[in-house]
Chains A and B, each alone.
Chain A
Amino acid sequence: MAPMATELATLRALTFRISSTATSQLPQHVPAIAASLASCRTLLSSAQASTSKTASEASVAVHKYRTLLSTLLQDRTIQGRWAAIVLIKSTVEIGGWETLQKSLPWVRGLLGILSKPDPYSSKQLCIITLTRIFFLTREYPSLVREITTPSLSPFIQSTLQVAASKGSPALLETILESFNQLLPRHPTTFRTHLKHLHQLLSQTVAPTPSSKLGRDQAAGARPDVTPAVSDAARRLYTQLPCSAPKGATSDEWQKNFKKAVENAHSLGDKVFRAVVEDWKSSAREPATVNGHTLDDEVQDLNADLMSLPPWLGIFAGGERLLGLLNLIKTYILCPTTMPVNLPIGTVVDLLTRLLSLTISSAKGQGFHNAIKFNSQVSKEERENLWLIVPEIHVAAIDLLLALTQRSDASTTAIDAAMLDQIVWVFASEKDSPEIRTACYLAVAQLLLRSGVALPKSSIDPLVDMIRQCCDDILPLDTNGPQLKQSLAPKTNGAPQATTNADAFLKAPKATNSSGNFMGLQNAAHALLPVLFTHIRPQYLSDSLRARLDRTAILVRDKDAMIASVLNPPPSRKFGKPAASILPFLARNQPGEKDVEALLRPRMPVIRTGTHELEKGVDEDEEAEMSEEVEGDDEFVGNELDSLLGLAPTADVRGNVAMAEEVDTPATAPTTLMSNDRPASTIQSANATGKRPQEDLASLSPPKRVKVSEQQEQPHVATLPIQPLAAVPTTIVAQKLDAPAVVPDLSATSQAFVPSTIAAPAAPSSKSENLVEEDSDDDDDDNKISLVLGQDTDSDSE
């Protein structure tokens, strides 16, 4: 029990340290104490049976420690209580059942702290600790009965009180998050508090800080609602149906979901009143906005379907709409305890509505179906609407992404249609970086799901976006100065300042202009490899493909480069065959594992190692087996079979000749490699000499450094191995190269490779000696005739 003794000593020392330190100084010590507490895990979590002397000592020490924490929890100073909270959390984490079982006094003490005027952060820690204790007791029904169930209701009450007093946003967030954790597990306990929860949530779910309502009109508007708070509130809101009476949970969920969608629609009717929408709903009756006299300002002074507080002004309306879209998104992202009906149809309907109202259609830039304005609404409001539309679109795309993430592969049916919508939005609002980010993310997601099956007609509209994506990753050099000059008059008010001296100096580096948009950069970088892998290379024009390759190479994006190499452009019938960017990849990322796997694949064949032991036996058996097979298989014909029996052995040599025959015409268009190819297939010692040479040539810098074209030549040359094929060629070419080396080596050094590659090679030479040398050619001839025979055979069937 040596480790136990050390733990005992540690615990005693810790207890002493806690008790000997003045409580005002204690918080500084606590992190260190909590850290070293981790080493007392066994002691604190083991059951104390006081049989032996050490065990009783241990139980005394543990008891002392626990009582110390309990008294510290009742300490008069906030520092002491703070220390107690942190130490209890640390103890509970490592203490296991033994500690949890005795944690009831602590829970009471912690509940007491909530009602005391402690600092916000202590309360925050206290709530986290309590949540953790409730969380940990879940696995033990007896502890749930003893500890969680009696304390949960007071906990909810006091936290709700804390939340009601407008304190710090972080504290409010913690409370909501805590409820998020607890509510799904203890729905019945929360049921009695639902009314208060609703009150709290209606203020936080979709806040409208821009509302122009006065304080008195907007009862319950809270200034302390940060995005994180409302996010937590939304998640809690979506969990509320868990507390519905038994059996009604999924109905409640569906009802709430429908309500949220419906609310978003009616909000859309209000916020979008400045324009006449093209969209015709499939499920809703169109709102008759034009029939009524309109308020002079967009507003909703009555509580709506979800009894959210009233708002006034278009910006507040926009904020509410965003909040609702986020709420619908949260519904989709949060788990449910029961199966529910997720109404894809209505969500897509809402998305279509939101995404079909675009700015450019309103401005009428070259679209004949320019959107109609509602003449009753002032121009200012319309312009304000254009200001919030991109935000709404971003939220809508976010919702779409959530939907695709949740429904996984089961909603691929909507992909093509949504892709069109996104392209439409992108075309009109690509000036906004937020819109660009959202569109890149969405297109990447949709392509990943069903990109390879999309027809060319769906891919063509993406061209504009693909170019923009390349621009975002790597701005064109020409854009830099132009951008600067066009921007300069706008930013600087004074005209004399526009012709700044800097403009005459060398062009500024173009890359720093978008450096601050990290989210945009990440989204564009994420899209780039997907464009290679999930769009059929045939659908992209040569110039676009070149643009993509160029971007990938210049920014040294490994993923994109590998994706490009794995999905080479289709080989063309005329002119120079399409080039692979493999050399660039090899230069840029020589040490990466995936590049290595691409350049020098090592794929073990199935029987690696298994035949090694039986090599000696095999040689004997092979002869026997071939005889057996001859005997058994009557259907092909004995003569052919006897030859077949020899085929694998004879083939090893025989195919060399054949390979030359067949390969040479096939690789005829190849200029450089046509000599090299058959040589590589010759399984002899001199091939091993030649092959590494070629490898060297492709890798050795001094020869190939000059022009990229030259650099690529070895690989370009290997491409037309399949001149007829419209298949990914480079991967083939590369695969061809490296494994060719492997068998060559194996042939020369048989001891080195234990696999069957080597094994049959040995008998082959023996059996060949037995068979006449001439039979090699005969064998090949027979093989071909066999093919014909087989064909006629199947014809006759």
Chain B
Amino acid sequence: MLTEQFVASISAQTKANTGVTKDAGIFLHEFQPLAAQRHVFKKSASAQHGLAVSSSHVFAAQDGKAVVHVYSREKGNQEAMIPFPERIHSIALAAKDTVLLMGTESGRVLAWEMCSGRLVSTSTSHLQPVTSLAVDPTSSFFLSGSPDAMIHVWALPAILSFSPDTSRSPVHTLSTHRGPISSITCGHSPSSANIAISTSEDRSAIVWDYRNAQLLRTYLLPELPQALTLDPADRAFYLAYGDGSLQTFDFYDDMQKPTSTDTLRDAASSHRPIQPSPQTRFDAESQKLGAALSLSLSWDGQTLLSGHASGKIAVWDAAKGNYVSTVTNLPGPVTNLEFLEPIGFPTASEPTLKMQTVVKPKQDSAVSGGNALVPPNYTLTMQLNGQLRRPAISATETVTKRAAFEEALVHPSFPQAMLEASLAELATWNAPSTSGAGIAPAADFLSLKDTVGTEDMQGVSNTNEVQELKKQLASQQRVQKVTFKQLSDLREEKEYLLSEERKRSQTARGKAKAKNNLANGSTSDVEMSNNTSGESESSDDDSSSDGESEAAPSE
């Protein structure tokens, strides 16, 4: 969603204001979607043409002082208070908001490079203070106007140039006006067909082809013009007058059409001043707005905003030419009014550099740098913003694609090409592994692991088997040992029993109780058979056989 804001400044506090906005001088006001004051910058009093707003800063030339206040929009506070050798009557931003142009009391224009702090001056070509400045969209030229009724056109790169032999005098001088220049504005075309409009207190407005110093059209005004703004498509301009009324000057209106069709560049009509119809003028008597001091046109060119001496900011419908509402009421005469570019475009391009703080100006001492093109200590202080892409220069290649990595990083999966290459590698990766140990050590390790995996399985089972067999062997050896022991025990027992038997038979021959002894011998035979069966079973269970074999001799 877009947000459209405007900035207004007042020249002095006229109303006793209450509370918070006590010494507020610059007001950041939201226009759409919700008309409300968003921020105030304090302690500033700027005259007309004394306010310039960039995306990061607000600059306000102080009325009647040789000081420019710099406010940071990001931090919302006053960043610097910069003194200059003479009074500043008008300021304007150039070169993508990196250069501040200042029209001075003595009739020269100062250019302050805010990234480097370099301050250069034009020649003193105006006889009186420079009260209005306008910069063309390419920042190649700027126009300066002064109460001496002259407009000078300057080439900015020449002014900023390091080489000492470039002229710092104007490219053209437009001297048709007969009264003090009150304001200048520049068209929106970067091409050579661009126009500039100047208004003067001789009650005329002139449309210029400033690059060729050519007068295109003269308009006669009913009153002293106070403020000027130009349609975004350069179809018309709007003027504000001291009585609070506004007027539309349509380049394509019905009055001019029969003579010049749709263009300003009809030489036939350039000499003939045009008195616009009073019907194109509109005001709102009932609102008591006071003199209009400033004028600004919204982004879409549909809504006019005018700042008045009473402190009111009025909204007008540019097409219908009628009063809509009063958007706010500031505590002083609204001397400057500037619509800002709406913010919130989803695909806004970022600037390549950010100027976080301005570098305070130091007089250009570097010209004495000798033979160097650029003085060696010339540095720009800025934040480099955003990765820029610049493929290496090549006469044969035309690569402008994004880096493969970044493409892959934001891809929903992986780019097709990358997947295919990877799959191909995956397929070939297996091949050396089956052929066995070989070329790439890293590859080998994996392949080994894979094939040896199966070998391992066999190996593991083999060792398991061996271990099991060894276990069995050990247990059987133990059984064997026990059996041998038992055998020897039994043999001893048998011999003992046999000797006993012999003794008994020797003693029994003589006695009559010999039958009883025979019965005892048969029971011991049964015991023997039990023992042998127990041994055959006890191949697994050693302890039981041991117990039995031990039990047998204990008997």
Chain A residues in 8 Å Cβ range of B278: 625-626, 629, 633, 641, 644-645
Taking CB atoms and an 8 Å cut-off, the chain B residues in 196-234 that contact chain A are 201-204, 209, 211-212, 214, 220, 222-223, 231, 233
How long is the Cα–Cα vector from A575 to B281 in the complex, in angstroms? 47
Q: Which 3 A-B pairs have the closest CB atoms?
A: A282-B372, A177-B405, A121-B422
A342-B379, A407-B380, A603-B235 given as contacts; is B398 within 8 A of A518 (CB)? yes
Cα distance, A278 to B353, chains bound together (Å): 35
Across the interface, do A121 and B277 meet the contact criterion of CB distance under 8 Å? no
Interface string of B432-462 (1 = CB under 8 A from A): 0000000000110110011001000000000
Give A786 to B275 CA distance when docked, in angstroms. 9
A-side contacts of B162, CB under 8 Å? 413-414, 417
Q: Return the CB mask of A71-93 against B: 1 if under 8 Å, else 0.
A: 00000111100100010011001
- Asked whether, in the complex, the Cβ of A405 is within 8 Å of the Cβ of B429, the reply is no
Measured between alpha carbons, how far is A109 from B453 in the docked complex, in Å? Answer: 21
Annotate B90-117 by CB proximity to A: 1 below 8 A, 0 otherwise. Answer: 0000111011000000000000010110
| In the bound complex, CA of A280 to CA of B376 (Å) | 12
| Closest residue on chain B to residue A434 by CB atoms | B395
Closest to B378 in A: A345
Task: Please tell me if the beta carbons of B384 and A408 are within 8 angstroms of each other in the complex.
Answer: no
Q: Does A341 contact B (CB under 8 A)?
A: yes
Which residues on B sit within 8 Å (CB–CB) of A344?
Answer: 116, 374, 378-380
Give the CA-CA distance A519 to B413 in the complex, in Å. 32
| A31 contacts B393, C-beta separation under 8 Å | no
Interface segment out of the listed B7-15, B64-72, B153-161, B521-529 = B153-161
Q: Quick check: B155 and A333 within 8 Å, CB to CB?
A: no
Proximity string of chain A (20-41) to chain B, C-beta cutoff 8 Å, 1 when within and 0 when not: 0000000110110011011000
Residues B98 and A518 in contact, CB atoms below 8 Å apart:
no
Indicate if B409 sits at the interface (CB-CB under 8 A): yes
- B-facing residues in A342-356 (Cβ within 8 Å): 342-346, 348-349, 352
Interface of chain B, main secondary structure: loop
- Contact, CB under 8 Å: A605 / B394: no
Interface size class of B (residues with CB under 8 A): 35 or more
Contact A651 B254 (CB under 8 A): yes
Residue B16 is within 8 A (CB to CB) of chain A in the complex: no
Q: Give B371-421 interface residues, CB cut-off 8 Å to A.
A: 371-390, 392-398, 403, 405-406, 408-409, 411-414, 416, 418-419, 421
Chain B CB within 8 A of A797 CB: yes
Q: Which residue of A27, A605, A629, A656 contacts B423 across the interface (Cβ within 8 Å)? A: A27
Report the nearest B residue to A333, measured CB to CB.
Answer: B388
A113 to chain B minimum Cβ distance, whole angstroms, is 12
How many residues belonging to A are interface residues under a CB distance threshold of 8 Å?
163
Contacts beyond the supplied A416-B161, A644-B278, A683-B258: 11 A-B pairs with Cβ under 8 Å: A78-B429, A131-B409, A232-B405, A516-B396, A648-B277, A681-B258, A681-B259, A725-B265, A727-B265, A756-B254, A757-B257
| A453 cross-chain contacts in B, Cβ below 8 A | 140-141, 155-158
A662 at the interface (CB under 8 A from B): yes
Question: Which residues in A have their C-beta under 8 angstroms from that of B248?
Answer: 606
* Interface residues in chain B, defined as those with a beta carbon under 8 Å from any beta carbon in chain A: 94-96, 98-99, 113, 115-116, 138-141, 155-158, 160-163, 166, 178-179, 191-193, 201-204, 209, 211-212, 214, 220, 222-223, 231, 233, 235-236, 248, 250, 252-255, 257-259, 261-263, 265-269, 272-273, 275, 277-279, 281, 301, 317-320, 351-357, 369-390, 392-398, 403, 405-406, 408-409, 411-414, 416, 418-419, 421-423, 425-426, 429-430, 442-443, 445-446, 449-450, 453
CB within 8 A of B113: which of A119, A177, A352, A410? Answer: A410
Give the distance in Å from the alpha carbon of A603 to the alpha carbon of B222 in the complex.
28
| Interface pair B255/A450, CB less than 8 Å apart | no
- Among B379, B395, B425, B445, the residue within 8 A (CB) of A343 is B379
* B contact residues around A398 at 8 Å (CB): 390, 392-393
Q: Is the CB of B275 within 8 A of A412?
A: no
Chain A proximity of B509: nearest CB distance (Å): 86
Evaluate contact between A413 and B160: CB separation under 8 angstroms.
yes
What are the residues of chain A within 8 A of B393 when measuring CB–CB? Answer: 394, 397-398, 401, 434, 437-438, 441, 519
Residues 62-113 (chain A) with a chain B CB within 8 angstroms: 76-79, 82, 86, 89-90, 93-94
B453-A76 in contact (CB<8A):
yes
Residue pair B281, A629 in contact (C-beta under 8 Å)? yes
Q: Is the CB of B140 within 8 A of A434?
A: no
For B201, the closest partner residue in chain A by CB is: A797
Q: How far is the CA of A735 from the CA of B423 in the complex (A)?
A: 60
Nearest B residue to A129, CB-CB:
B414
Stretch at the interface among A293-301, A539-547, A736-744: A736-744
Say yes or no for A497: interface residue by CB 8 A criterion.
no
A27, A416, A601, A783: the one within 8 Å of B426 (CB): A27
Considering only residues 710-744 of chain A, those with a C-beta below 8 Å from chain B are 721-728, 731-732, 735-736, 739-740, 743
A409 touching B373, Cβ below 8 Å: no
Q: How far, in whole Å, are A566 and B190 apart by their CA atoms in the complex?
A: 12
Mind listing 8 A-B residue pairs with CB under 8 Å? A282-B370, A334-B384, A397-B393, A416-B163, A434-B393, A647-B277, A648-B253, A797-B202
